[in-house]
Amino acid sequence: MAQQTTQAARTVPTRIRVAAHRLRRVTPRDAWRSVAHWVRSSPGTHIWLAILAVTSVVMAVVPPDVRSHLLHRFSTNLVELHRHPIRVLIGSAFWIETPSGFAFYAVLFEVVHAPAERWLGTWRWLFTAATAHVGATLISQKAVFFGIQDDKLPHSLAHTVDIGVSYGLAGIVGVLAYRVPRPWRWAYLAAVLGFFGYPVLRHATYTDLGHLSAALIGLGCYVVTPVTPPAPRGDDGSRDEA
């Protein structure tokens, strides 16, 4: 046993030296191949991100009156949902209100959407994000409708700007709970519910309600998650929990 321990201890520095040597040998071509592989492994995420990049540039260069027209044209407010539901439900997911926020969303896409797409597959990832986006939009705008009807919310909210990708992101954050192994899954779930639920309890706006709804819809998409193979049996016949 002591000999095995000594041999294992000797291999650690060797492995470190080998890893460092390989790192020094990485060329720009190798780095480019790694980036290309990452993009190919999550094509939907990066197509969506590319469209957002284009629309963000458009928003940054057009005059203010054109920008306002575009924002209202693709907003999922009550008026546009009544007139052009399909156009705004789809189009609103490809615009962000502040072009300077693109870099922030690009990071979130790489951290949230890309790993989720690689795990779920493109079509199941797209189904989850789209369901969360559409479902949360309809729930939040229904709340706006009742608020205006009961004179609890200003009538101007029927024409408000409501676009962006955050509902889809919140839905993917929700479904990623099933990617986290137990027992850390419960801590992740508590953090997600706390993050999206606290604003609703404190100062509920329709966007806060939309984000919480999207996260819950994502949690409800367990059926699209990959089937986890049974854990191997231990020597005593018990199964290791994932």
Q: What is the pLDDT of residues 126-171, one digit of tens each?
A: 999 999 999 999 999 999 999 888 888 888 888 888 888 999 999 9
Do 77 and 141 form a contact (C-beta atoms < 8 A)? yes
Amino acid 31: pLDDT: 57
Q: What is the pLDDT of residue 4?
A: 46
């072009």: which residue's tokens?
A: 99
pTM of the model: 0.80
Q: Which residues pair with 239 in a beta bridge?
A: 233
**pLDDT in the model for residue 111:** 93
What is the distance between the alpha carbons of residues 23 and 162, in angstroms, rounded to a whole number? 46
Question: Which amino acid would we find at residue 165?
Answer: V
Distance of CA 233 to the CA centre of its chain: 35
71 vs 2: which has the higher pLDDT: 71
Report the C-alpha gap between 227 and 114 in whole angstroms: 19
Residues 241, 233: Cα–Cα separation, whole Å: 10
Contact 158, 147 (CB under 8 A): no
pLDDT at 236 over 60: no
Between 218 and 204, the more confident residue is 218
Given a cut of 70, is residue 123 above it in pLDDT?
yes
pLDDT at 182: 84
How many angstroms separate the CA atoms of 157 and 179, rounded? 37
Summarize pLDDT for 177-193 with one digit per residue, the tens.
Answer: 999 988 889 999 999 99
For residue 144, count other CB atoms closer than 10 A to its CB.
22
Which range, 26-30, 35-39, 92-96, is most confident?
92-96
Phi-psi region of 121 (alpha: psi -120 to 50; beta: other; left: phi over 0): left
